[in-house]
């Protein structure tokens, strides 16, 4: 079945540091890939998505590239801010899985001033 594996947290960085959160997936079909973010006390919200191989999703300075050859969708940001402190979830959805969205376990990010 489909699955998503992302790096364990917490990740603690200083402001303006470079961020990478690793995400790899297993899917029977050709999935769409997502990153959702959950800020403290709020619901999950979509950060970015990519629907086919080599697509790059980007939003708010975050980027992730759909790599079919390595089945990965790593999240990156060049310079993090304190306001980026949140939990980040990698997810996939594909037709072969009935469009059921599978989420990773989440990676908590702390950014220190």
Partner 1 sequence: EAGVVQSPRYKIIEKKQPVAFWCNPISGHNTLYWYRQNLGQGPELLIRYENEEAVDDSQLPKDRFSAERLKGVDSTLKIQPAELGDSAVYLCASSLRQGPYEQYFGPGTRLTVT
Q: Are 67 and 53 in contact (CB under 8 A)?
A: yes
62-67 long-range CB contacts below 8 Å, 24 or more apart? 62/35, 64/23, 64/33, 64/35, 66/33
Q: Alpha-carbon torsion 30, 52, 54, 91, what sign?
A: negative
Distance of CA 22 to the CA centre of its chain: 8
Nearer to partner 1, 98 or 113 (CB): 98
Give yes or no for residue 86 binding partner 1 (CB under 8 A): no
| One residue of 57, 77, 89, 111 binding partner 1 per CB under 8 A | 89
Residue 108 in tokens: 């908590």
Give yes or no for residue 94 binding partner 1 (CB under 8 A): yes
Give yes or no for residue 23 binding partner 1 (CB under 8 A): no
Nearer to partner 1, 17 or 87 (CB): 87
Which of the residues 54 through 83 are near partner 1 (CB under 8 A)?
none
Binding region for partner 1 (CB under 8 A): 4, 31-32, 36, 41-46, 49, 51, 89, 91, 93-94, 98-101, 103-106
């Amino acid at each position: 079945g489909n699955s998503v594996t992302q790096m364990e947290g917490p990740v603690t960085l200083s402001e303006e540091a470079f961020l990478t959160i690793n995400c790899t997936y297993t899917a029977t079909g050709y999935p769409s890939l997502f990153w959702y973010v959950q800020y403290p006390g709020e619901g999950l919200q979509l950060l970015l998505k990519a629907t086919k191989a080599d697509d790059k999703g980007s939003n708010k300075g975050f980027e992730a590239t759909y790599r079919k050859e390595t089945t990965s969708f790593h999240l990156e940001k060049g310079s993090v801010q304190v306001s980026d402190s949140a939990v980040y979830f990698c997810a996939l959805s594909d037709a072969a899985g009935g469009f059921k969205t599978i989420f990773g376990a989440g990676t908590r990010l702390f950014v220190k001033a």
